[in-house]
Amino acid sequence: MTDQQPTDAPLHGLRPRRTRRTPALRAFVRETSLDVSQLIHPLFIVEGTGVKKPIETMPGHAQLSVDQLEGELREILPLGIRSVLLFGIPSRKDAAGAGAWDPQGPVPKAIRELKRLAPGLLVIADVCLCEYTAHGHCGIVHDQSGVVDNDATLPLLGRTAVAYAAAGADIVAPSAMMDGQVAAIRSALDVAGFLDTPILSYAAKHASAFYGPFRGAAESTPAFGDRRAYQMDPANARETLVEVQLDVDEGADLLMVKPAGSALDIIRQVRDAFPHPLVAYQVSGEYAMLKAASQRGWLDEPRAAIESLVAIRRAGADQVITYYAKEVARWLSTAE
Task: Answer whether 203's CB lies under 8 Å from 245's CB.
Answer: no
Please say which residue, 67 or 320, places its beta carbon nearer to ligand PBG.
320
**283 touching ligand PBG, by CB under 6 A:** yes
Counting DSSP H helices and E strands in the chain, the numbers are 11, 10
Q: Which 221-260 residues touch ligand PBG, going by CB under 6 A?
A: 227
Give the DSSP per-residue string, 91-138: S--BSS-GGGG-TTSHHHHHHHHHHHH-TTSEEEEEE-STTTBTT--S
Q: Which 23-82 residues touch ligand PBG, going by CB under 6 A?
A: none
Please say which residue, 227 or 271, places its beta carbon nearer to ligand PBG.
227
Please say which residue, 84 or 128, places its beta carbon nearer to ligand PBG.
128
Please say which residue, 67 or 150, places its beta carbon nearer to ligand PBG.
150
| Mutual angle of helices 150-167 and 106-117, in 10-degree steps | 30
**171 touching ligand PBG, by CB under 6 A:** no
CA angle 99, 53, 171 (to 5 degrees): 45
SS3 9: coil
N-to-C CA span, the chain: 44
Q: Which 207-226 residues touch ligand PBG, going by CB under 6 A?
A: 211, 214-215
Q: Which residue is catalytic, options 52, 53, 93, 205?
A: 205
Contacts of 27 (CB under 8 A, 6+ apart): none
Task: Answer whether 199's CB lies under 8 Å from 253's CB.
Answer: yes
CB atoms within 10 A of CB 296: 8
Number of residues near ligand PBG (by CB under 6 A) = 11
Interface pick for ligand PBG out of 47, 72, 102, 126 (rule CB under 6 A): 126
Please say which residue, 112 or 215, places its beta carbon nearer to ligand PBG.
215
**175 touching ligand PBG, by CB under 6 A:** yes
Residue 320: CA count within 13 A, CB half-sphere: 36
Span near ligand PBG by CB under 6 A; candidates 24-32, 108-116, 123-131, 147-155: 123-131
Q: Write the single-letter amino acid at 266.
A: I
**113 touching ligand PBG, by CB under 6 A:** no
Report the alpha-carbon distance of residue 308 to residue 52 in Å, rounded: 28
Least Cβ distance, residue 214 to ligand PBG (angstroms): 3
Span near ligand PBG by CB under 6 A; candidates 21-29, 64-72, 125-133, 241-249: 125-133
Active site residue 326: no
**290 touching ligand PBG, by CB under 6 A:** no
Least Cβ distance, residue 119 to ligand PBG (angstroms): 26
Residues in the chain: 336
Q: Which residue is catalytic, options 93, 109, 258, 291?
A: 258
Interface pick for ligand PBG out of 39, 114, 138, 183 (rule CB under 6 A): 138
Active site residue 93: no
Least Cβ distance, residue 192 to ligand PBG (angstroms): 23
Least Cβ distance, residue 211 to ligand PBG (angstroms): 4
Task: Answer whether 182's CB lies under 8 Å from 235's CB.
Answer: no
Least Cβ distance, residue 323 to ligand PBG (angstroms): 7
Residue 146: is it exposed, middle or buried by C-beta count within 10 angstroms (0-12/13-18/19+)? Answer: middle
Report the alpha-carbon distance of residue 289 to residue 324 in Å, rounded: 12
Please say which residue, 83 or 175, places its beta carbon nearer to ligand PBG.
175
Residues that bind ligand PBG (CB under 6 A): 126, 128, 130, 138, 175, 211, 214-215, 227, 283-284
The catalytic site residues sit at 205, 258
